[in-house]
Amino acid sequence: MVKPADLTVQSIALDADSLQQGAASNGIATIVENRLGDTNTAAAIIDSTKIVFRRNGSDVSSQFSVTPTISPSTVPGGLSRTFNYSMDVLPSAELGWVKIYQELWYRDSNSDIQYHHLSSVVDSFYVKEHGVISITSIQPSQNTVTSGQDST
């Protein structure tokens, strides 16, 4: 008898340990397994997936924009698949540590039973303030300029 699909997130990796507010195109890669090594397992059909961001247990996902770049539609029994995302930190994101989770909604290819999985594996990163440059004044290097003076 074929075992039902059973997805788990094996790893989540962000390509940086800290990001500034407004940082764009940051890569997130996750590895999702369906009873790795057990080929007597039904395929999992992916209905949807998303990246969830939490700070101190609160959902702060609205402070980030995530776009899937590689999103497999199935995970065969006994195998794993990599999901890739591009993430932008909104300029108004709160400063501090953030944990990244992956959430999956999928169906067993044999029974069509629907399942939900929120990863217990996480990655984390620090949101830091973006750099700000301001010009407070412009001062001439000399008090007077001579007519006909050349700039060299």
For the cut 80, the answer to whether the pLDDT of residue 150 exceeds it is no
> Is residue 103 a contact partner of residue 52, using CB atoms and an 8 Å limit?
yes
Dihedral-angle region of residue 25 (phi above 0 means left; psi in -120 to 50 means alpha; beta otherwise): left
Average pLDDT across the chain, whole number: 93
- What pLDDT sits at residue 146? 66
Summarize pLDDT for 13-63 with one digit per residue, the tens.
Answer: 999 999 999 999 999 999 999 999 999 999 999 999 999 999 999 999 999
Query: In the Cβ-directed half-sphere of 151, how many Cα atoms lie within 13 Å?
Result: 0
